[in-house]
Structure 1
Amino acid sequence: MSETCDVAHGTAPADPGLRTLVAVFASPVSRYLLKFAKDLGYHVALFEPDAPRGTDVPEGFEAETTLPPLDASADVVVTDHHRPELGLVLKAALEGRPRWVGVLGNPRHPGPHVAALRGLGVPEDDIARVHRPVGLNIGSRTPPEIALATLAGLLADRNNRPGGFDFTT
């Protein structure tokens, strides 16, 4: 059988590289991100600095009130751009040098993270590392759809693929 057939039949070896997904803030989207990412082989963590909000997590997961250690294996997805601690959380995440950082939000509205990070003195090069919007443009509207589009975008990025239906690369 060819490698392509192995993939289709589920017998291809998994990606041996360590992948970590840190969902920031307990939210309906983070619930699905954690579940789906775990099924995709990610090590997952939920960072919720506001302990009372950390009770709204999927069964089998716990919210951490301190940002877990980040390195080049980590993808960080901020699931609520309205939180007052957005800038501080992003600044701390960027200092950990994760592979990828993104903030959910409607691309038709300016991202509040830019002003928040500038106000904290974060260098423009680091601010530019924050992706917004995130995920594939599939018209997502519900939390599971947003989580699916986000993870598909992360997989495409990790695999140096453009996403969508362009299979030329």
Structure 2
Amino acid sequence: MDSVDLSVLKAVRDWRAGGHRVWLATVVRTFGSSPRPPGAMLALREDGVAVGSVSGGCIEDDLIGKAREGRLPEHRAEGVTYGVTQEEAMRFGLPCGGTLQLVVEPVQDAYWVGDVLHRVERHQITARQLNLANLSVDLMPAGPDAALVFDGEMLTTVHGPRWRLLIIGASQTSSYLARMALALDYEVIVCDPREEYTSVWDVADTRIVKGMPDDVVLELQVDVRTAVVALTHDPKLDDMALLEALKSPAFYVGALGSQRNNEKRRERLALFDLSAQEIARLHGPVGLDIGSRTPPEIAVAILAHLVQERARLARSAARDTELNAGEAACVTPKQTF
């Protein structure tokens, strides 16, 4: 769960505790181009104060105006659609053809917010089910593949870290990377068997594991929602992690170092039970080539590459879905009369 959504829920909790009237707006559907994805949230107070985002700004302005004027729902949650016509899309700053559907709910009892935040802090994934008619809320465990569901009567949203980042080495670069990754919906695990590094690690909401890197990769059961980034500069540690990570389904495996050092690394890896295809998965040097030199710049380059890779995978999955749907349509028997 990224830092924006955490800020939204914390605002809802604090405002209700202060006696304010509060609404929570959630993007539930998008059609065509849209500024924010399903699940994006905006918290609104009766005086127009807002936290979060559901669009580029114009829809927020409209909702803020309605909150101030008392024109938001009071006793049930309601669906609101923006951009139905071309004129509305232009007025609200939506891209050409874009339509955004929201659920706006009055938060009468915020008891569930603290529970969700507590579960997120413990790196648990939670589904929240809202009954639009009576505003009842149920919380239940969810898996990393859980997605937002809206049927017009019930809204189910998913909260918690559904992506993992395993960092090998508790270095200064690692600390910058960990802090930034927490803001991008990652559960961050840092592996380093060296006591002199782990004893001074101070990044909150991350997990330190002191085992050997290859063992840790196996113990974590690295999956397609996990990235593994080796940052120790010590081949004895980095290579151990890479030997297992490159054989895993991890969506991203990278290692710090120059082009020359990484070529030598690939030569070393080829001496073990890795195929050429597995070694080719290694992103080394790690991160996008943006000319980064300092630890925070390197962290930005790595996270930018993770964002790019996740977007590429999402586009690929969407194309596969469309292709499968098209193939299914082609083989559907035609009705004869």
Normalised to the residue count of structure 1, the TM-score between the two structures is: 0.79
**What is residue 65 of structure 1 aligned with on the other side?**
210
SS at match of 1:141: coil
Q: Counterparts of 2:166 and 2:56 in 1: how far apart (Å)?
A: 29
Which structure has more relative contact order (CA 8 Å, sep 6+)? It is: 1
Q: Counterparts of 1:134 and 1:104 in 2: how far apart (Å)?
A: 5
Q: 2:61 matched to 1:30?
A: no
* AA aligned opposite 2:279: I
Q: 2:298 matched to 1:146?
A: yes
Q: 1:7 Cα deviation (Å)?
A: 4.7
* 8 Å CA contact 2:190, 2:209 repeated in 1: yes
* AA aligned opposite 2:175: R
Query: Structure 1 residue aligned with 2:309, among 148, 157, 169?
Result: 157
Q: Counterparts of 1:47 and 1:116 in 2: how far apart (Å)?
A: 22
Q: Counterparts of 2:200 and 2:56 in 1: how far apart (Å)?
A: 36
* 8 Å CA contact 1:48, 1:65 repeated in 2: yes
The count of corresponding residues between Structure 1 and Structure 2 is 159
Q: Counterparts of 1:93 and 1:64 in 2: how far apart (Å)?
A: 16
Q: 1:104 Cα deviation (Å)?
A: 1.5
Q: Counterparts of 1:51 and 1:62 in 2: how far apart (Å)?
A: 15
Listed as ranges, the gaps of 5+ residues in structure 2 are 1-32, 37-53, 61-99, 103-147, 149-157, 314-337
**What is residue 20 of structure 1 aligned with on the other side?**
164
Q: Counterparts of 2:195 and 2:251 in 1: how far apart (Å)?
A: 27
SS at match of 2:228: strand
1:87–1:55 distance in 2 versus 1, CA, 3 Å? same
* 8 Å CA contact 2:169, 2:191 repeated in 1: yes
Larger radius of gyration between Structure 1 and Structure 2: 2
1:118–1:49 distance in 2 versus 1, CA, 3 Å? farther
More strand per residue: 1 or 2? 2
Q: Counterparts of 1:51 and 1:98 in 2: how far apart (Å)?
A: 27
Q: Counterparts of 1:128 and 1:7 in 2: how far apart (Å)?
A: 39
| RMSD of aligned alpha carbons | 2.9
1:20-41 CA distance string (max 9 Å, x none): 1111111111111111000111
SS at match of 1:101: strand
Percent identity of the aligned residues? 30
Q: Counterparts of 1:143 and 1:157 in 2: how far apart (Å)?
A: 21
Q: Counterparts of 1:149 and 1:54 in 2: how far apart (Å)?
A: 24
Q: 2:266 matched to 1:118?
A: no
* 8 Å CA contact 1:48, 1:54 repeated in 2: yes
Listed as ranges, the gaps of 5+ residues in structure 1 are 162-169
Query: Structure 1 residue aligned with 2:192, among 35, 48, 57?
Result: 48
